[in-house]
Amino acid sequence: MPAIATLPVDVLLKIAFTIPDAEDLFAFLEALRVDIDLGPLEYLHQLGQTHEHTDLWPTLFLDSLLLDELSTSPCQAVVKYYPSVIVEDGWENIEWLKAHVNPMATVEWYVNGFPQTVKNVDDWAKLQITKASITIDNETTASTWKDVVPRLQHLTSLYVGDDFGQLDGIHALLPTSHQLTNFEIFATKMENADLMYLNQWFRSHPVQVFESWFTEWRELDYNLRQALCEAMFNCPTLERLRLTDCYLDDMDFTKFNFSMKSLLLDELDSESNVLIALASRLEGSKLTHLEISDYVDDNNTKGMECLLRALPQSSIKSLTFSGLHIKGAAWCKVARLFKNCGLETLTLGSDEISSDFAQSLATAIQKNRTISGLHLSKCQIAISDLQRSIQSIGYSTRRVKNRQIKWTSPISETVSETTIKALEEYATKCGCDFIHERALW
C-alpha cells in the first residue's frame, strides 16, 4: 500500500476518526501497522489488545481501571486526540484529566457517588462536561452535589437519581442554566417551588427531553400542576416526555396540544376517563410514539376503545401498553379495533392473554394494512394462539414490509428450544420473522 504508506500521521488520524465502528477501526489499524508508522494510533492498537474495543472507540470510556493504567503508560498520549470521552467518577484523577483530555473534547460524566469534599472544583468546571449522570448513594455526602453541579456551565443533559431526599435546589438550576435541554430526575420529594422552576424552564428553553417521578403529585397546588402540564404538553421542541406517578385525572386536557413526539406515562393509575381525555386531543398532535404502563382500570375498557378509535386520525405509529390484565369479553371488542388503527408497531404487555383475545387480535391484524411489528411482552399465551398471531402478521394479502412478531415469555414460564425452533420455522413459512426472548424479571 505505497500511497497510504506516505500519508502523514495527522492525515491518518483524521481518517481513523471518520470510522464510526470499533471493529472496523481496529481492523483498519491492524492492516496498516505492518507497513507504516501509526504514530499515536499505535497506542490505541496496544490498548485494543487488552480492552473491549467498544470501550475505546468511537468514544473513550475512562473508568477507574483504565484511568489508573493510563496514568503510568505511554498510551496516554492518544487521549488528547479524542473529540469525546466518558469519565466514570474520576475524583482522584482530575489533574490527569486536565493534562491529557483535549480542552475542546466533550465529556460525559458518570458519578456513582460523591466524596465528603470535592477538591479542584474549578478544574471540573473547566472541562467541557455536556452530559452528567449523577447517582446519590450515600446519605452522608448526599448534598455534596451542590458544590459541583451548579458550576458545570456546559451541561446540555443531566440525569439525577436520589433515594435520600437531598436534591433540594436541583430544579432551581434549570431556568438559569445556559444550555440544559435534557433533564431526567428520579427523586423522593417534589415541592410546589419545583413545579414553578420546571414551568419557567419549559417556557424559556428549547427543552428536548424531560423525565421525572412526581411523588405526592395530588398534594401539590392545582394551578401549578395545570400550568406545568400546559408547558410540558405544549412545548414545541420536546422530543420525549416521560412522567411517573403524575396523575392527570383532574387536569384540563382542553389546554393540551401534545406537541412532543414521544409520550410515556408510567404508573399513571389510569382511569378510563384519562384515556378518553387523551384520545380527544390526539388529532392534530405531533405524537408518533405513545406508551402507557400499569393501566389499572381493567374492568372498564371504554378509555381503551376511545383511544384506539382516535388513532387513525392521529400521527401515532408506535403504541405500547404494559401491565395490563386482559380478561373478559370486553377485551375482545378492544382487540377488534386494531384493524384500522394505523399503527406500524404494537406492544402489549399482560400477565396473561386469553385465547379469545388472542384470536380476536389475530383476526384484526390479519385485516390491518399497516402493522409490521407485534410484540407480546411478558405474556402467558398458548402456543396455538402464538401460531395464529404469527399467521396473521405474515398473511399473504398484507402488503407490509419487514413483518415481525416478538414474544417475551415470562420469567416463570419455561419454553423448550424445540418449541421455539418450530415457531421460527412456522414464521418463515408464513412470510415473517419470529423472535423469542425470556424476561429477566
Nearest to 291 by CA among 306, 277, 278: 278
User: How far is Cα 421 from Cα 414, in angstroms, rounded to an integer?
Assistant: 14
What confidence score (pLDDT) does residue 216 get? Answer: 86
43: in domain: yes
C-alpha 268/C-alpha 225 separation (Å) is: 15
Cis peptide before 58 (omega within 30 of 0): yes
State the pLDDT at residue 418.
Answer: 97
The closest of 282, 334, 277, 281 to 305, measured between CA atoms, is 334
Burial of 352 (0-12, 13-18, 19+ CB in 10 A): middle
Question: What letters, b where the CB count within 10 A reaches 16 and e where it falls short, cover 83-100?
Answer: ebbbbbbbeebbebbeeb
**DSSP count for the chain of H helices, then E strands:** 16, 15
Q: How far apart are CA 205 and CA 397, in angstroms?
A: 48
Q: Minimal CA–CA distance to 357: which of 382, 378, 321?
A: 382
Beta bridge partner(s), residue 244: 213, 266
Cβ(360)–Cβ(335) below 8 Å = yes
**Per-residue pLDDT tens for 51-87?**
999 999 999 999 999 999 999 999 999 999 999 999 9
pLDDT number for residue 226: 98
pLDDT of residue 270: 58
What amino acid occupies position 378?
K
CA dist 283 and 390 (Å) reads 31
The identity of residue 86, as a single letter, is I
Residue 44 phi, psi (nearest 5) = -65, -40
User: Mind giving me the DSSP string for 61-96?
Assistant: EE-HHHHHHHTTSGGGGGGGG-SEEEEE--GGGHHH
Residue 164's pLDDT is what? 67
Identify whether the C-beta of residue 300 lies closer than 8 Å to the C-beta of residue 272: yes
**Is residue 41 included in any domain, yes or no?**
yes
In a domain, 241, yes or no: no
**Domains in the chain: how many in total?**
1
What's the alpha-carbon Rg for the chain, to the nearest Å?
Answer: 26
Is 12 contained in some domain? yes
The pLDDT value recorded for residue 114 is: 85
Q: Which residues of the chain have pLDDT under 50?
A: none
Instruction: Report yes or no on 37 lying in a domain.
Output: yes
- Compute the C-alpha angle 341/253/239, nearest 5°: 65
CB within 8 Å of 83: residues ≥ 6 apart? 17, 102, 104, 105, 106
Instruction: Please give the pLDDT value at position 119.
Output: 83
| pLDDT score recorded for residue 347 | 98
Task: Give yes or no for a contact between 114 and 141, defined as CB atoms under 8 angstroms apart.
Answer: yes
- Give the range of the structural domain holding residue 7, as residue numbers without chain letter: 1-53
Domain membership flag for residue 20:
yes
Structure confidence at residue 423 (pLDDT) = 98
pTM for this model (two decimals): 0.92
| 280 occurs within a structural domain | no
Would 179 be classed as within a structural domain? Answer: no
State pLDDT tens for residues 332-366.
999 999 999 999 999 999 988 999 999 999 999 99
